[in-house]
Amino acid sequence: MGAVQARRNLRKIDAMPLVRIPTPLRPHAGGNDSAQAEGATVGQVLNHLTTSFPDLRTRLFDGEELRRFVNVYVNNEDIRFLDDLDTAVAPTDEVSIIPAVAGGGV
């Protein structure tokens, strides 16, 4: 069994979505590159995550809305094209937080 399959099997036992945390946000998440968080929707998962790591809240949210430069994906699907924070998540889903990257011309 490969490492990826082994992680999936462990996550089925743990029964909570896995949230991938990008490098710039890791200092606000205890240095973790990922964390499991409870919830049936993306909003619930992120609220649980920010309860565990309160410093993340101000970096992800502006009030109750996601900040404009924060992109969230569920299994590589952009939640902006699904149901946004109301997007359903299953216990074996992977939620990825991707900060927007801005740059200048070449």
Q: Which residue has 């968080």 as its token pair?
A: 37
Summarize the confidence of residues 18-45 as an average pLDDT.
96
**Measured between alpha carbons, how far is 106 from 101 in angstroms, rounded to an integer?**
15
Classify residue 64: in a domain, yes or no: yes
Q: Is residue 80 part of a domain?
A: yes
Number of domains in the chain: 1
Q: Is 71 exposed, middle or buried (0-12, 13-18, 19+ CB in 10 A)?
A: middle
Residue 5 reports pLDDT greater than 60: no
Q: Whose structure tokens read 């991938």?
A: 20
Does residue 12 contact residue 91 with C-beta atoms inside 8 Å?
A: yes
Q: What is the mean pLDDT of the chain?
A: 88
Range of 63's domain? 3-99
pLDDT band at 18 (very low <50, low <70, confident <90, very high): very high
Contact 73, 65 (CB under 8 A): no
- How do residues 42-72 score in pLDDT, each as one tens digit? 999 999 999 999 999 999 999 999 999 999 9
**Domain of residue 50, CATH code:** 3.10.20.30
Domain assignment present for residue 105? The answer is no
